[in-house]
Structures are given as structure tokens and as C-alpha cells.
Amino acid sequence: MTESPVATLKMVTLDCADPEASATFWSALLGWTVVHAEKDYAMLQGPSSALGFGRIDDYVPPAWPNVNGTKQFHFDLAVEDLDAAASAAVELGARLPEDQPGETWRVLLDPAGHPFCLTNAANWG
């Protein structure tokens, strides 16, 4: 028996130092539209949800590698070609850290320092 959900996820908001820069990066990476951008807040609209960016004074990005588990969360993004996608993400402003814990994905850091993973789309079925 399936119960109705209590809620539907519509947006995730990330803390950062520069919402406009974060929105520009993620818009180019995901192909989503920037629907709002200003000094303190920016937002992208995707096919079924949104991604927001809020400016925090004295923002400190999560550490990578993060042995204490304080990165809080990260995105896993499916791609057709790991190396090509990683190169494209770096051209858009991401950083590829030396510490890569596996071979079936690439960990990158967005311009605000949030880690995200590129994964092989074929592994998602």
C-alpha cells in the first residue's frame, strides 16, 4: 500500500558568497534558466524543481576531502562521458581536486566550494 507523500521537493538552496556567480555556473552546467539574480539571492528553474543560492557573510565552503563528513550533502549528476563532462565543468568554473576516491565518478567543486559528483549515466539504468 502506497501512502501519499507529505511534501514535494521544489527547491534546494545553497549558501554561498556570490549568488550571481553560483547561478551562472549551475545554469551553464545544468542548462537551467536563471529566473532571479541579485547580490543576496539567485534562483534557477529546472524541469520540475528549482535551485537557489543565498549570500552568507563570511561564507566558508565545505572542505574536500572531508574526513569529518561536514560537507552536509552533494549532487550526483549523470553524464555520458566522465572526462568530457569534467573538462566542461572546469571550463565553466568548477575545480577538480586531486583527491578522487573512485574511478566511476569525478568529484568537483563548484565556484563556491560545494562538492558535486559526475557519474556515468549508464550506471543509473
19 φ, ψ (degrees, to nearest 5): -55, -40
Burial 67-88 (b: 16+ CB within 10 A, else e): eeeeeeebbebebeebeebbee
- Residues 53-107: pLDDT tens digits? 999 999 999 888 888 877 677 899 999 999 999 999 999 999 999 999 888 889 9
Binned at pLDDT 50, 70 and 90, residue 6 comes out as low
What residues have CB less than 8 Å from 54, skipping those under 6 apart? Answer: 13, 14, 15, 16, 19, 40, 41
Distance between CA 31 and CA 35 in Å, rounded?
12
pTM listed for this prediction: 0.84
Q: What is the pLDDT of residues 17-33, one digit of tens each?
A: 999 999 999 999 999 99
